[in-house]
Amino acid sequence: MIKRVVFVAGVAAGYLFGTPSGRRQLDKMKLWAVDVWHDPRVQEHVQEYEAQAAAFAKKQGAAVWEKAVDSAKSAVSSSTTKYPTNDASPTVVEPILDADDANPGQR
Length of the chain (residues) = 107
101: in domain? no
Distance CA 73, CA 97 (A): 20
Question: Whole-structure pTM over 0.85, yes or no?
Answer: no
Helix or strand run (H / E) with residue 16: helix 2-18
How many domains does the chain divide into?
Answer: 1
Write phi, then psi, for 92 (nearest 5 degrees): -85, 130
Helix (H, G, I), strand (E, B) or coil at 38: coil
Does some domain include residue 31?
yes
Please indicate, yes or no, if residue 23 is contained in any of the structural domains.
Answer: yes
Tens-level pLDDT at each residue, the chain (107 residues): 999 999 999 999 999 999 999 999 999 999 999 999 999 999 999 999 999 999 888 888 878 888 888 888 888 776 555 555 555 555 666 655 555 555 555 55
